[in-house]
A and B are shown apart, each in its own frame.
Chain A
Amino acid sequence: MNAEWLRTGDGSLLLRFAEPGAWESVRRLFEALQRFEHPGLLNLHPAYASLLIDFDPLLLPFAELQCEIEARLRLAAGIDLPPGREIEIPVIYDGADLVSVAERCSLSVKDVIRLHSRARYTVRFLGFRPGFAYLDGLPEELVVPRLSAPRLRVPKGSVAIAGRQAGIYPEEAPGGWRLLGRTDVTLFPPPLLAPGDTVIFREVRA
């Protein structure tokens, strides 16, 4: 597990993984650091290929944190990751961008729904808003850039896509993702989804 170290602030360190399987490395190091109980370790932000660590540099000096991470990077390779669960999300496909996505992709609305709901998605990490899961596995045919101007309000439960990503808004928030539909499943609290879970969208009628 080779990480690029970026000391981005007096209390933040970003580790970037460029190797294939970066996501697994991030998860393993995250699990190893979760077991590190120290009042100076403030937050861990795992992403797809990076882990941001917030720390208090007076309670946990950078040099000490560095030693701790190096030791845990060696341990991390041997950590067993918890197996993911399979979670089905019922979706009413009536999103504001459903038709425009179909047009941009030269597909029918029916095809967009079929492609989106037949795929199997993997939760890579949680972030952005409480309980928001970044989903990997969007079919290539549905890859479109995000909106050029984000909406000020995306409704809670919106099922959306952006680039190669898919997701569900756990609460109302501003956002630039394209809206395909909605679900009434509660994503937070507590977090419904965890890294490694498989998500399947199932079409339901309004």
Chain B
Amino acid sequence: MIRVLDPGPWIALRDAGCWRQSHLGVSPGGAADPWSHAVANRLVGNADEAAAYEITLRGGRFGFDAAARFALAGAEFDATLDDEPVPSWQTVIARAGQELKLGYARDGARCYLAFAADDGAPLLRARTRTTFTLPAIVRVTPGADAASFDAALRDVFVAGEWTVSPHSDRHGLRLLPAVSGGRLRVARGNAIDGLDSSQGVTWGTVQLPPSGEPLVLMNDQQTTGGYPQLAQVIIADRPRLGQLRPGDRLRFHWIDPDAAVTVLAEQRRRLATVVVPA
């Protein structure tokens, strides 16, 4: 139905990840921006977990062997179908032989291309589209080792702006202070690691190595780690992490776990009603 003619530098088929394997050292993987991934799938009538192409920063070319419906959601890549602009966040019908081309990400880092056979079902559009405002606000709860850092450090962490370093990928985002003097000073020597130095880490864990440069773990993360854990990004803000690209700025905001659950419930309610007839 759909063929990759030119994959571009970073393209992969992603589903909602595989779980219950971290005790073997296997991280979930899956779409880095689960919100856009799910919306793209809904627009073509797929289950939220269905595989869709994740396209990062630079697009590629796709050919259709047969009529198909597809949808793009996430960052804007200036897509064209046989050189005609195609909108994101809605169902598009492609005829056999047409070619879909994606340019460079204009905002955000990733878009999702979901596709299905054209079964004649009504066309759909998303009621909202993601807007990429910077600095991104990322909400965090105190991490496993938050209490081992002094209050002043925790304040500096949320007071300042951070920049996503070029050495960032689906394993993790490395952060640098956006202004000089924003560095976190970590009092920790070159200790001898015992077996108890490592503990579980997950998608959104913010580790603070002795360098003072926070590391936000993404969905291809390692499953255990030895650096102290300062914070944990709330589940509802994982899509935001997946759209940050090198050079982008972000800020952290403390929130408590119960409030984070309320935010997540609201996000799920929005997802359930996001797709309407075009």
Which residues of A approach B to under 8 Å, CB–CB?
6-12, 14, 16, 22, 30, 34, 41-52, 54, 56-58, 61-62, 124-132, 134, 136, 143-146, 148, 162-165, 170, 188, 191
Contact = CB atoms under 8 A, between A and B. Distances in A.
Given A7-B257, A9-B232, A43-B19, A128 B222 contact: yes
B20 A45 contact: no
A79 to B, nearest CB: 15
A57 B259 CA distance: 12
Interface string B21-63: 1111110100000000000000000000000000000000000
Nearest to A146: B193
B194 A51 contact: no
Contacts of B191: 145, 163
A30 B23 contact: yes
A34 B20 CA distance: 9
29 contacts: A8-B142, A8-B229, A10-B236, A10-B260, A14-B199, A14-B200, A34-B23, A43-B22, A43-B23, A44-B22, A45-B23, A45-B200, A46-B23, A48-B196, A49-B196, A50-B200, A54-B19, A57-B257, A124-B195, A125-B224, A129-B222, A130-B24, A136-B195, A145-B190, A164-B192, A164-B193, A165-B194, A188-B24, A191-B25
Contacts of B204: 9
B81 to A, nearest CB: 37
Interface stretch (B65-73, B88-96, B176-184, B261-269): B261-269
A10 B24 contact: no
Contacts of A144: 192
Contact of B198 (A10, A30, A48, A51): A48
A134 B261 contact: no
Contacts of A10: 141, 234-236, 257-258, 260-261, 264
Interface string B196-207: 111111111000
B9 interface: no
Q: Which 9 A-B pairs give the minimum distances between C-beta atoms? A: A52-B200, A45-B200, A163-B193, A127-B224, A10-B260, A9-B232, A43-B22, A48-B195, A163-B192
A46 B95 CA distance: 51
B225 interface: yes
Interface residues of B, number: 45
Contact of B23 (A41, A62, A126, A145): A126
Contacts of B144: 6, 8, 14, 52
Q: Which of B193, B225, B233, B265 has the most CB of A within 10 A?
A: B193
B171 to A, nearest CB: 9
Contacts of A191: 24-25
Contacts of B223: 43, 45, 127-128
Contacts of B246: none
A129 B19 CA distance: 15
A16 B202 CA distance: 16
Interface of B: 19-26, 28, 141-144, 190-204, 222-225, 229, 232-236, 257-258, 260-261, 264-265, 268
A129 B221 CA distance: 9
Contact of A127 (B25, B141, B143): B25
A60 B265 CA distance: 12
A128 B264 CA distance: 28
A196 B233 CA distance: 33
B191 to A, nearest CB: 7
Nearest to A14: B144
A132 B198 CA distance: 13
A128 B142 contact: no
Contacts of A7: 141, 257
Given A43-B28, A145-B191, A165-B195, A128 B257 contact: no
Contacts of B234: 9-10
A134 B234 CA distance: 29
B16 to A, nearest CB: 11
B141 A9 contact: yes
A51 B257 CA distance: 19
A59 B232 CA distance: 20
